[in-house]
Structure 1
Amino acid sequence: MEREMKINIENPIYGSLTMPNEGGVYPAILIISGSGPLDRDGNVKKGKITTNLYKELAHFMTDLGFVTLRYDKRGTGKREGDWLAAGFSDLVEDAKKSIEFLQSHPNVDKEKIIVCGHSEGTIIATKLAESINLAGIMLLSGGVDNLIEAVEKQRQFSYKELFATPGIMGWLYRKLKVDVKGEKQVNSFMEKVMKSDKDVIKVQLFFKQPAKWYREHNSFNTREALKRVTCPVIAIQGDKDALVDNEVLKELPNLVQGKSEFHIIPNMEHGLRVQSEPKTVLKMRKFFKEILKRPLHEEGLMEISTWLVANYKNEESMNEEKAVL
């Protein structure tokens, strides 16, 4: 079953709640989306981008016996507001309100609420887990690095791709030192962001940028937050994901206090789908439409399923559900 929910009275949050068809009390999963103007399903309005990633994840998890909740970010879907003006703190606050909604729901086991963050959502999940008593967090296509660190590594990877371009173009990129010039531009932009007290600023006169979002992400130390996480943690990334650093997941067991595990899935990209093409930043758009036609990666889903069932669908909880029915 899937129903639309309205959470909060002021500045209401609209979302979709999925439940197993049977009645009863179930563990619940809050799905938190990645960066940009993505709605509850993982889509950008007017058909600009249609991934349905979070909708597919929600239905997969509900088939395993979990209640799921996914919601529209500010300024997306049915939600009012400006997504560019929303800071990291605003995104965390929306997630907290959504957790409170799940805690009050009669079909949710209040002791078994899990947060599943994708991309930027992994950072929000980390922030929540350091201060709220969650049953677990899932970090999909992200984790350990904060947003500023992750974006800096994306730039470095793109420079390497440019320098590896065959022939005269590769030579020209190296000769022009595009990495040095690119980093100067970024530093200039971040200096402007840090000096501003506005939610949104303009660069080059016309282009709006989420200044508050950058400032707040810049000040959040994910590693220090992870040291205060006591619930089970799983991190899953694809080896074809050019937007994350797989190596940092090795730090996870030494950061969190509770049990943790991580998995690097072969031939999986940032959106959790199969990618047979080379790992790339520069050609992501070229491959994007074709990749969206493919299913979510079976091995990635298997790791999600194994972890969820092992930790939250044990024999005792299954018997409790049967008793309620």
Structure 2
Amino acid sequence: MKRTNDIKLMKFKLKTLLASLLTCILTACSTSFEKLLFATVDHPQEPTKRGYVIKDVSFENAGDGIRINGELTYPTDKNIIASVVLISGHEAGKPPATKDDIITGHKYFLTLSHLLTERGYAVLRYDNRGVGKSGGDYKHATDWEFAADAAAALTWLQTKSGLPKTKTGFIGHSQGGIKAVLAAKWATPDFIVSLAGIGAEPLEQALIRQNQDIMRAKGAKASEIERVGKELADLFRIVKTAKNVTSARERIKDYAVSAGMKSESDIKKIQNLFATPWWQTALQMDFNTLLKAHNGPILALFGSQDLLVSATANHHPTKALLTNVQSKVKTFDGLNHLFQTALAGKGPDEYWQIETTIEPAVIDEIDHWIRGL
């Protein structure tokens, strides 16, 4: 009966849907031509010389025995304000993240770790499981596995790094903010910093709005924007309610065929994008409950020009969910998802054109808040 209902769903146009999905959901994906463009832009914040201790390290996720490789940086004098683990927003289905977390040419985590270490922080960043020198399976991982890796990183930092005892916590970018909250199931962070992380807004709503906002910024017709929203809602419902990944693949194929899609390769693109353990798990998560249940201090930062995670949709609802008196929510005017000063407000297409990787005011806010805990 369920599959019959899927066939009755609104028909979609492959080109419109894929163009939107690959632009917005896979924002970290870059063509060879784009990578050449990225190389033409200077990134003055990216370090060329690093005047502090740099160590290659590894730690084990004891839950499944996966060994994760990363880099630890800290001041030479070991006069450390706090120690932090950086958690990327990449998830299975997106291009995987190494410890540098490269986004449209910006080495986001390398730059962030450098700016923090220069201010007196110890920073641990690492290759995602199944990426670079880290073991494990990236493609089939869910946010629970990614969060467990982050928890293992924090535990190692607290117990085996050899650093002085001080405050320790997570800094997560985008989906990394939610992973940080999940990781608190296995670790004990003194604080969490969420950079442009989805807060109170359900994931499917956030992604539909994200795609529609970016299409609108690019001048798409209202009818196309509405259609893509409905198509995404249909696909999310199929994945969310399917018994397993195999069932999701079958139902997505039925949906595509009923809409007149004949190319097997095109159908597989949709299946491979959505019918994954990560999507099934993520769409079933209740972010509201997760945030409300966490009783530690959280700093949630947003950008008013972020087309991926809306400050309007998340600022006040997130603030209402945070229970710790030291928690804080702040929206930076004019900044995008990477906390750069936006240009024309067209989202991911602009990131590579901007020399700044992350505005200094954001680092100031993080530093000031952590010092005040």
Q: Same fold (TM over 0.5)?
A: yes
| Secondary structure of the structure 1 residue equivalent to 2:139 | helix
Tell me what 1:322 maps to. Answer: none
Q: 1:106 to 1:64 in 2, by over 3 A?
A: same
CA deviation after TM superposition for structure 1 residue 152, in Å: 2.7
Distance 1:178 1:200 in 2: 19
Distance 1:52 1:60 in 2: 12
CA deviation after TM superposition for structure 1 residue 27, in Å: 2.1
| Matched ranges for 1:55-74 at <5 A | 55-74=110-129
Asked if 1:120 corresponds to 2:175, the answer is: yes
| Secondary structure of the structure 2 residue equivalent to 1:153 | helix
CA deviation after TM superposition for structure 1 residue 77, in Å: 2.1
| Matched ranges for 1:125-136 at <5 A | 125-129=180-184, 132-136=187-191
1:208 aligned to 249, 259, 272, which one? Answer: 272
2:323 aligned to 243, 257, 263, which one? Answer: 257
Distance 1:233 1:90 in 2: 22
Asked if 1:39 corresponds to 2:98, the answer is: yes
What CA deviation, in whole Å up to 9, does each residue of 1:169-193 have, x standing for no partner?
Answer: x37637x8444345334434545xx
CA deviation after TM superposition for structure 1 residue 116, in Å: 0.6
CA deviation after TM superposition for structure 1 residue 251, in Å: 2.4
AA aligned to 2:344 is: E
Q: 1:308 to 1:178 in 2, by over 3 A?
A: closer
TM-score by length of 1: 0.80
Q: 1:131 to 1:185 in 2, by over 3 A?
A: closer
Distance 1:171 1:65 in 2: 49
Report if aligned partners of 1:25, 1:106 keep a CA contact under 8 Å in 2: no
Of structures 1 and 2, the one scoring higher in RCO (CA 8 A, sep 6+) is 2
AA aligned to 1:184 is: D
Identity between Structure 1 and Structure 2 (%)? 21
Q: 1:185 to 1:158 in 2, by over 3 A?
A: farther
Report if aligned partners of 2:68, 2:127 keep a CA contact under 8 Å in 1: yes
Distance 2:330 2:171 in 1: 15
Report if aligned partners of 2:106, 2:352 keep a CA contact under 8 Å in 1: no
Asked if 1:195 corresponds to 2:243, the answer is: yes
Runs of 5+ unmatched residues, structure 1: 312-325
Tell me what 1:219 maps to. Answer: 284
Asked if 1:180 corresponds to 2:230, the answer is: yes
Tell me what 1:301 maps to. Answer: 363
Runs of 5+ unmatched residues, structure 2: 1-52, 253-266
CA deviation after TM superposition for structure 1 residue 102, in Å: 0.7
Distance 1:33 1:171 in 2: 33
Q: 1:275 to 1:101 in 2, by over 3 A?
A: same
What CA deviation, in whole Å up to 9, does each residue of 1:194-237 have, x standing for no partner?
Answer: 33246996961355236111122122222112222222211111
CA deviation after TM superposition for structure 1 residue 266, in Å: 1.9
Aligned residues: 293
Q: 1:156 to 1:57 in 2, by over 3 A?
A: same
| Matched ranges for 1:142-291 at <5 A | 142-144=197-199, 145-158=201-214, 160-161=216-217, 165=220, 170=221, 173=224, 177-191=227-241, 194-197=242-245, 204-206=267-269, 208-209=272-273, 211-247=276-312, 248-258=314-324, 259-278=326-345, 280-281=346-347, 284-285=348-349, 287-291=350-354
Backbone CA RMSD of aligned residues = 2.8
Tell me what 1:107 maps to. Answer: 163
